C-alpha cells in the first residue's frame, strides 16, 4: 500500500508539472501568434506593392504586339494553317494508283495536306507499309477502314464491268461518316495525277446551298473531240435508262450535260443537312429493284445516283482541274502542250496507266513510287519480265 501510495504520489507530481508547463505555454501562445500574423501581413503588403509597380511599369512601357521584336508564344504557323483533307481509296490490285496520286499532290504543294487513305481491312497493312517505307513517310495521313456491309442490298450485280462494283467505288457516298472534323473535303479517284497546287482546288467556291462541286462533261471545248472520237456519252442519256418511268418522272432532259464525280470538292455541313448519303442510298436501292441504270450505259454505277441527287444543285470546278477520258482509248491522245497545262489528269475508263495498253503513261510514271514489298508491279514490267524469260528459254 505504501508503494502504491508512493507511485500515485509520484505520478501526481509529474502530472502537476506537465499541467503547470501546459498552463505556461498556453498563456504565452497569444503573443507568438500575433507575431506570426504581423510577419505574414508584412509579406503580403510587400507582394501587393510589387504587383502594383509591375502593372504601372507595363502600362507606361507597353509596345503594340505587332511592333515587338520578341518571340511570342502562340501557335506555330503550321498549326494555324488550315488543313486540306484529301480522300483517296487504296484498292487491292491497284494500290500503286493511290501511291502515285498522293506522291503527285505532296510534291506540288506547300499546303498543309492531310491524306485520308481509305481501304478494306485486308488492304490497310499493305498501304501503310508502302507509305512508311518510302519517301512518302513524311506525309500527314490517316488510314480509314471502310466497312462494305453498309452496301448490303444496295448494289445490283452487273457483269459488264464488275470492277465498278468494288466497295471502295462507293466511298464518296459516305464522306461524312469517314471525315468528322472538317467542313470542306476533297475526294479524288485513285487514277488521277495532280500537276497543280491542291490549294487551288480546295479554294473552289461553293454556292450557298450546294453540297459539292464537280466538273461538267461539256465544260471544256478541248475535250469534245476526245469524247466524240471514243464514242463516249456526256449527257444524262448515257447514264440513265429513260425507258423507265421512274427516270422520266425526274423531269430531267436526257440531253442535260453530265458531270464526273472522280473529283469532288464537298461541303460536309450541307451534305449532312441535305441528307445526301440517304438520298444516294435510296436511288441505289431503287436501282436494285428496277434496274434504272447500269455500267453498260455510261460506265459508272456510282455516277448515276449522283447525277440524280445533285441535278441542278452543284457548283463547278475549274475545267483544267479535271482533264479526263485519258483511259477511254488505248490510241486517242491529247496534245502534249494541253496536258502540260492541265492541273489534274484523270485516266477514267478501262485503260489505266499502270496497265497495258494505255496512253500518256509517262506523265503517270513520273510520280509512281515502287512498292517496297514487291507485291505491286506495273503490267509493263511484268510483260517485259515475261518476254525476257521467253527469250532466255529460246536461246
CATH number of the structural domain spanning residue 115? 3.90.550.10
d(CA 334, CA 325): 10
Please check whether residue 144 is in contact with residue 252, taking contact to mean a CB–CB distance below 8 angstroms. Answer: no
Q: Cα(87)–Cα(329) distance, rounded to whole angstroms? A: 27
Grid cell of 309 as nine digits: 441527287
Distance between first and last Cα of the chain: 129
Residue 9 within any structural domain of the chain: no
* Whole-angstrom distance, CA of residue 143 vs CA of residue 130: 12
* 382 in any annotated domain: no
The confidence score (pLDDT) of residue 254 equals 93
66, part of any domain: no
Distance (Å) of CA 53 to CA 42, 44, 56, 65, 318: 17, 14, 5, 21, 61
Please report whether residue 47 resides in a domain.
Answer: no
CA distance 21 to 12: 14
- The answer to whether position 334 is within a domain reads yes
Kindly state whether residue 162 falls inside one of the protein's structural domains.
yes
For residue 338, give its domain range.
84-220+231-366
The answer, yes or no, to whether residue 366 has pLDDT greater than 50, is: yes
| Residue matched to cell numbers 501546459 | 22
Our measurement of the distance from residue 115's CA atom to the centroid of its chain's CA atoms, rounded to an integer in Å, reads 5
Domain assignment present for 389: no
| pLDDT on residue 63 | 34
Q: Is the pLDDT of residue 387 over 80?
A: no
Orientation angle between helical segments 95-107 and 124-132, nearest 10 degrees: 40
Residue 29: inside a domain: no
Output b/e per residue, 106-139; b: 16+ Cβ within 10 A: bebbebebbbbbbbbeebbebbeebbeebebeeb
pLDDT of residue 68: 29
C-alpha cell at 298: 455510261
Give the number of other CB atoms < 10 A from CB of residue 320. 18
CB burial class (10 A; 0-12, 13-18, 19+) of residue 204?
middle
pLDDT for residue 18: 45
Whole-number pLDDT of residue 160: 59
Kindly state the cell numbers that stand for 117. 487513305
Burial code (b: 16+ CB inside 10 Å, e: under 16) for 278-299 equals ebbbebbebbeeeebbbbebbb
Output the pLDDT for position 56.
67
Domain count of the chain? 1
Average pLDDT value over all residues in the chain: 82
For 185-215, how does the pLDDT look when each residue is reduced to its tens digit (9 = 90+)?
Answer: 999 999 999 999 999 999 999 999 999 999 9
Enumerate residues 6+ apart whose C-beta is below 8 A from 79.
none
Using CA atoms, how far residue 133 sits from 137, 275, 311, 373, in Å, is 6, 40, 43, 9
Lowest mean pLDDT among 27-31, 75-79, 126-130, 225-229: 75-79
4: pLDDT confidence band, cut at 50, 70 and 90?
very low
- Non-local (6+) Cβ contacts of 318 within 8 A are 200, 201, 204, 215, 343
What pLDDT shows up at residue 26?
43
Q: What is the pLDDT of residues 81-110, one digit of tens each?
A: 799 999 999 999 999 999 999 999 999 999
Percentage of the chain surpassing pLDDT 70?
Answer: 74
When mean pLDDT is compared across 66-80, 160-174, 196-210, 340-354, the lowest value belongs to: 66-80
pTM of the model: 0.76
pLDDT at 11 exceeding the cut of 60 = no
Instruction: Count Cα neighbours of 123 within 13 Å in the Cβ-side half-sphere.
Output: 22
Q: Which residue has the cell 501568434?
A: 33
Residue with cell 473552289: 204
Distance of CA 298 to the CA centre of its chain: 28
- What is the rounded (10 degree) CA torsion for 301, 303, 305, 311? -160
Q: What angle do CA 157, 162, 165 make, to 5 degrees?
A: 65
Between 29 and 234, name the one with better pLDDT. 234
Distance CA 280, CA 309 (A): 7
> Of 202, 113, 121, which is closest to residue 168 (Cα–Cα)?
121
Position 333 scores a pLDDT of 85
Amino acid at each position: 500500500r505504501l508503494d502504491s501510495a508512493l507511485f500515485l504520489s509520484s505520478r501526481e507530481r509529474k502530472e502537476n508539472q506537465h499541467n503547470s508547463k501546459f498552463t505556461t505555454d498556453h498563456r504565452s501562445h497569444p503573443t507568438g501568434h500575433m507575431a506570426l500574423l504581423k510577419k505574414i501581413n508584412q509579406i503580403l503588403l510587400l507582394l501587393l506593392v510589387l504587383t502594383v509597380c509591375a502593372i504601372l511599369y507595363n502600362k507606361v512601357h507597353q509596345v503594340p504586339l505587332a511592333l515587338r521584336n520578341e518571340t511570342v508564344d502562340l501557335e506555330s504557323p503550321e498549326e494555324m494553317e488550315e488543313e486540306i483533307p484529301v480522300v483517296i481509296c487504296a484498292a487491292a490490285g491497284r494500290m500503286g494508283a493511290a501511291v502515285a496520286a498522293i506522291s503527285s499532290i505532296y510534291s506540288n504543294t506547300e499546303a498543309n495536306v492531310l491524306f485520308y487513305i481509305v481501304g478494306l481491312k485486308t488492304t490497310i497493312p499493305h498501304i501503310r507499309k508502302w507509305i512508311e517505307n518510302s519517301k512518302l513517310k513524311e506525309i500527314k495521313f490517316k488510314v480509314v477502314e471502310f466497312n462494305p456491309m453498309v452496301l448490303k442490298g444496295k448494289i445490283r450485280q452487273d457483269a459488264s464491268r464488275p470492277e465498278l462494283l468494288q466497295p471502295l467505288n462507293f466511298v464518296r457516298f459516305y464522306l461524312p461518316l469517314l471525315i468528322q472534323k472538317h467542313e470542306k473535303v476533297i475526294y479524288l479517284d485513285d487514277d488521277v495525277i495532280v500537276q497543280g497546287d491542291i490549294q487551288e482546288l480546295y479554294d473552289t467556291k461553293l454556292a450557298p446551298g450546294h453540297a459539292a462541286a464537280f466538273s461538267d462533261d461539256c465544260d471544256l471545248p478541248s475535250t469534245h473531240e476526245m469524247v466524240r472520237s471514243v464514242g463516249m456519252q456526256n449527257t444524262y442519256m448515257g447514264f440513265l435508262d429513260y425507258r423507265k418511268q421512274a427516270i422520266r418522272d425526274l423531269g430531267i432532259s436526257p440531253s442535260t450535260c453530265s458531270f464526273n464525280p472522280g473529283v469532288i470538292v464537298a461541303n460536309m455541313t450541307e451534305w449532312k443537312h441535305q441528307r445526301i448519303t440517304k438520298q444516294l442510298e435510296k436511288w441505289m436501292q431503287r436501282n436494285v429493284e428496277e434496274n434504272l441504270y447500269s455500267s453498260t450505259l455510261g460506265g459508272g454505277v456510282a455516277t448515276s445516283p449522283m447525277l440524280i441527287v445533285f441535278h441542278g444543285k452543284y457548283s463547278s470546278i475549274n475545267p483544267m482541274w479535271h482533264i479526263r477520258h485519258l483511259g477511254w482509248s488505248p490510241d486517242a491522245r491529247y496534245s502534249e502542250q494541253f496536258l502540260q497545262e492541265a492541273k489534274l489528269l484523270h485516266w477514267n475508263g478501262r485503260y489505266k496507266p499502270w496497265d497495258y495498253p494505255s496512253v500518256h503513261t509517262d506523265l503517270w510514271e513520273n510520280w509512281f513510287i515502287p512498292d517496297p514489298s514487291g507485291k505491286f508491279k506495273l503490267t509493263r514490267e511484268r510483260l517485259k519480265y515475261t518476254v525476257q524469260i521467253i527469250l532466255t528459254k529460246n536461246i
